[in-house]
Structure 1
């Protein structure tokens, strides 16, 4: 039997490595920009065409490379950063493994132009699928220019799985901004399809944050600092009023390298407890400066997952530092004694009711020491005899179980023909009678279902009329939100929104659908963006349902003023005209049923 195990050719091995290092165009840009930073560049220019599918170009003014280094840089495991295994645990540069350029060159047409300051002539090298096609002298500026064309041209399967240009560009921006935030001392210029997209000059950390995320953060950023023998923590956090329903503005860096760590994110959120609503997220930009020997950045190809030796202690310092910054700004949890709307009608007294003034009846001739003790003891015995039997079995038989209440979605339960028996509970629920039991309706969820089916019906009818705003409504978004909204604009116009771009990340709303309250427009736009970003691929296939769901969720009633009986009857009638009346617009239970049979059993067992 012949031998079957053999070494793979370098070109094949590089393609396999590219699967780990080069996952999409954003990965290429990350690796090339990090190389520019390691080359001590102070200005980096990034050009993207067709979301990186056609051209990616990164130009820097760093120290450049010699002829020999330029060719050697594309060999696997060729690096200037480390010499021994011990160097891996003291590395401070962005790249060090020597895999990126070899992986990029294996799946594209790659060209490098580079020159060192001490050389009058630079070098140009062209590589296709890991094979060097040419290397020639060339006149070029000091620094390096990497041009990557036709990414994944030789791996059709990988190219096929790239997402839309808008989505891929969003990933590209995310990588660029993660690096730009960590290096405010470097200027960044971005070109998109040969047009200037953004320019971020050399600045300080706070100004770089404002340049990227907009002026809405400028006045709400609080500086944090904390230092021990283990770590130094610095950066900025947002005031609670800047919290949003997404976490696009949350960044962690260690030694100027972006990373993700749930334990640190949880520590930050604990510091904001009772300061922000549930499921909202404050912006933060936190930098850790730590001895490289105390972390391991080599556990993941993208280097975004990092292990810390003193993770618990750092979490404690981080939480304390943020609480201190919030405290210095007089931002502390408040006790809202005025929020009594849930209980306002719990002890209501009629206006015409006669109120009896509390009083105490006193018997002047009463002598406690002269009373007949035996008469009292006899009375006690008479009242306590057999009391155990009255409550026998109550502890072993719970009054209400999970099976007692059932979702009305599991059956065809309907209200009575004229549901006159309606009670509103804590302004959140309606209790009414059905054919087979009592129904408890969640007002907000039920209203979202009513609105959802109404919006769906309207959307299928085509272009809708627009109600014009008296004054334009200005909204400012993050870069990620801005890209998503740009993609959604044609669909939003179809349903009656008139929204125009008003600068890099700013938009003006001139009109909305007729049934949208102007005060809720910004919340609805953010809801669109959040839903689309979380489930973009599935939403693209049925954008109308996605938009209708977001509009319904944002417009639904919450803690509605007290509803009159006729209003509740109309509300219930509208709900049960819906195709799926028992669930909300986003699939949550809206109606639960307590069957009459279950009630009978509870009182007859």
Structure 2
């Protein structure tokens, strides 16, 4: 019987290895940028075309390569950084696995021009399917230029799994930002389809952060800086008012390498405890420098997940450093035992305490409860006590106007005839009985067979989801013109996402258009959205869309509709009028699947009369 186990051909082995390292154009961008940093470059330019599918080019002014090195760099497991196994635990460079260029060459057509400063001529190489098809001397500036063309040209099945150009561009921008943020002393630029998206001059760390995240952070960053024998922590955290409802601008770097760590993220969140809401997430850019022997960065092909030798120490240091930074900036609460000299000048301190005032104070029963014996648990009858009016401090006057329900958009009053073909509602709320709002969250509505308990936020989410779904898939929603056009300025990554979402947003009633330089103009909003905060609403929508999580894969339009419904739904805690409660109940039971939200949570619970009787033993 013939043997059946055989060695894979090199080209197939390379393509399998490339599957680990090069998953999309952004993967190649990351590897090529890191190589340029390792080459000692002070200027790095990234040029992409067709979201990296047609071209990814990285040009640097680093030390370049000799003709032999240029050819060797594309061999598997070829690296200049590891000569013995111990070197693996002293890695301070970005790339070291020796698979990046080999993986790129296995799934793309590669051209490279490189020259060392001491050489008169450079080297030109063309590589295809891991084979060198041309090598010759050439004129070239000092440094290296690598072109990766037609990614996955020889693996069409892999190419079919790539997302839209806008989605792939966002991934490229993410990888570009992570490298550029780690090295503020290097010039970086990113050009996409001939348009420069980033032009990052050398500067301080804060300047680089503001260049990338936006000018709105300029006055809202708190410096973090702690040095110890074990590790150094430095960087910036955003002030509490910059916290977002979704995980936005959060960056951790260990030895200048971007990492993802839910454990360290928790350390930062706990440092902000009490200063931001439990459903909010702080922004931060934090760098950790420690001995490479204390960390293993070779546990994942992308090197974004790492292991610390003692992660509890790292956690404690990060938490303490952020807390200390917030306290020093007078953001976190702290105790100050020094007496302010201004207090001595206060009128109450300067005035003498007269004998008459003293007699009045001493004769009061309140004074006696603090000075006489056996008074600690003595409480006077309420009608005699001087404290009988204490409740007045905590109750609102009867004539105080009720909380306005205009702060949030109440359910629209137009019938949802376009949601479904006319059909009898599943449940009928009695119109001659008043509805009761409980804890400004639940609505108790009587029916002819018992009553229902409606969760106002979840119910409104179902109503809006049905409304936006119909609009997004055909019948465009009505828009209301804004009084004054609003300008929205976004980071490049968010601008690329919003460009991708424009047709879907316009379908559900938004009127906005790109006005250049990552700016957008808003001239109209959906008819049932309250005016006045259009820019914040779209920023929040983008954040929700970016961090949308579900076990089921949804289309872009479906994700947008779900995010929009969740954002615009009236929230728990908002007071509603009788008319608004009736409208909410009527519109809910006119919906298909009225009993659950799009995510599967119940919108109401029904209590039938016979069920109530059984509960009371009848």
Partners of 1:162 and 1:303 lie apart in 2 by 22
Q: Contact conserved, 1:466 with 1:498, CA < 8 A, in 2? A: yes
Distance 2:556 2:4 in 1: 50
Name the counterpart of 2:489. 476
User: How far off is 1:225 after superposition?
Assistant: 1.5
TM-score (norm 1): 0.83
The structure-2 alpha-carbon separation of the partners of 1:130 and 1:221, relative to structure 1 and needing over 3 Å to count, comes to same
Q: 1:523 to 1:595 in 2, by over 3 A?
A: farther
> Is residue 139 of structure 1 aligned with residue 124 of structure 2?
no
Question: For the Cα contact (< 8 Å) 1:111–1:125, is it kept in 2?
Answer: yes
Query: For each residue in 1:444-498, what CA deviation from the matched residue of structure 2 results, as whole angstroms up to 9, or x when unmatched?
Result: 2222323333444455564455422222323333333222111111222233322
1:495 paired residue number: 508
Q: Structure 1 residues 423 and 536, CA, compared in 2 at 3 Å: closer, same or farther? A: closer
- The aligned runs of 1:329-408 (5 Å cut-off) are 329-332=329-332, 358-359=382-383
Query: Does structure 2 retain, via aligned residues, the 8 Å contact 1:520–1:554?
Result: no
Query: Which stretch of the first structure deviates more once superposed, 281-290 or 419-428?
Result: 419-428
Task: Compute the RMSD of aligned alpha carbons.
Answer: 2.5
Aligned to 2:49: 49
**Does 2:264 align with 1:264?**
yes
Aligned residues: 532
- Alpha-carbon distance in structure 2 between the residues aligned to 1:254 and 1:202: 21
Change (3 A) 1:419 1:482: farther
Q: Pick closer, same or farther for the CA change 1:577–1:80 going to 2, 3 Å.
A: same
Cα deviation for residue 326 of structure 1 reads: 1.4
Aligned 8 A contact 2:299 2:305 in 1? yes
Write out per-residue CA displacement over residues 301-355 of structure 1, whole angstroms, 9 at most, x where no aligned residue: 1111111112101101111111111122222379xxxxxxxxxxxxxxxxxxxxx
Match of 1:486 among 474, 490, 499: 499
CA distance in 2, matches of 1:267, 1:464: 44
Specify the alignment match of 2:566 in structure 1: 553
CA displacement 1:388-429 (0-9 Å, x = unmatched): xxxxxxxxxxxxxxxxxxxxxxxx962444350421112211
TM-score, normalising length from structure 2?
0.81
The Cα shift of 1:572 comes to: 2.2
CA shift digits 1:223-258 (9 cap, x unpaired): 111222221100000011111123231010011001
User: Matched residues in 2 for 1:450 and 1:19: separation?
Assistant: 44
| Equivalence for 2:407 | none
**2:433 corresponding residue in structure 1:** 420
Is the contact between residue 76 and residue 98 of structure 2 (CA under 8 Å) also seen in structure 1?
A: yes
Give every structure 1 segment of 4 or more consecutive aligned residues whose post-TM-superposition deviation is greater than 6 Å.
Answer: 536-540
Q: CA deviation at 1:65?
A: 0.6
User: Following the alignment from structure 1 to structure 2, what is the Cα–Cα distance between the partners of residues 30 and 98?
Assistant: 14
CA contact (8 A) 2:545 2:563 kept: no
The reply to whether residue 232 of structure 1 matches residue 245 of structure 2 is no
User: SS at 1:224's partner residue?
Assistant: strand
Q: Secondary structure at the match of 1:71?
A: helix
| Matched residue, 1:438 | 451
Aligned to 2:200: 200
Q: Which residue of 2 aligns with 1:61?
A: 61
Query: CA 1:95 to 1:571, structure 2 compared with 1: closer, same or farther past 3 Å?
Result: closer
Contact 2:188–2:200 under 8 Å retained in 1: yes
**Whole-Å Cα distance in 1 between the matches of residues 574 and 94 of structure 2?**
57
Distance 2:565 2:98 in 1: 51
Change (3 A) 1:580 1:521: farther
User: Matched residue of 1:321: which SS?
Assistant: helix
For residues 83-117 of structure 1, the C-alpha deviation after alignment (integer angstroms, 9 at most, x for no partner) is: 10000000101111211111111111111100001
1:564 Cα deviation after fit: 4.3
Q: Which SS does the other structure have where 2:219 is aligned?
A: helix
Task: Provide the secondary structure at the position in 1 that maps to 2:218.
Answer: helix
Displacement of 1:159 in angstroms is: 1.1
Structure 1 residue 264, shift from structure 2 partner: 0.2
Is 1:533 the equivalent of 2:543? no
Mapping of 1:432-471 within 5 angstroms? 432-458=445-471, 462-471=475-484
User: Once structures 1 and 2 are overlaid, which stretch shifts more, 165-174 or 533-542?
Assistant: 533-542
Matched-pair contact (CA < 8 Å) for 1:22–1:104: yes
Partner residue of 2:582 out of 569, 572, 577: 569
For 1:285, the equivalent position in structure 2 comes to 285
Classify 1:2/1:444 alpha carbon distance in 2 versus 1 (closer, same or farther; 3 Å).
Answer: closer
CA distance in 2, matches of 1:459, 1:2: 60
Deviation at 1:263, TM superposition (A): 0.7
The secondary structure found in structure 2 opposite 1:492 is: helix
In the TM superposition, what is the alpha-carbon distance from 1:432 to its structure 2 partner? 2.1
1:582 matches 2:595: yes
The CA distance in 2 between the partners of 1:424 and 1:287, in whole Å, is 49
Mapped partners of 1:226, 1:81: distance in 2: 30
Q: Which residue of structure 2 lines up, in the alignment, with residue 597 of structure 1?
A: 610
Alignment partners' CA distance in 2, 1:289 and 1:216: 28
Structure 1, unpaired ranges of 5+: 335-356, 362-411
Counterparts of 1:36 and 1:421, CA distance in 2: 71
Flag the 1:309–1:518 CA change in 2: closer, same or farther, 3 A. same
The answer to whether the 8 A contact 1:111-1:148 is kept is: yes
Please give the secondary structure, in 1, of the residue aligned with 2:532.
helix
Change in Cα spacing, 1:578 to 1:122, as seen in structure 2 (3 Å) is same
1:207, 1:542 → 2: CA distance? 34
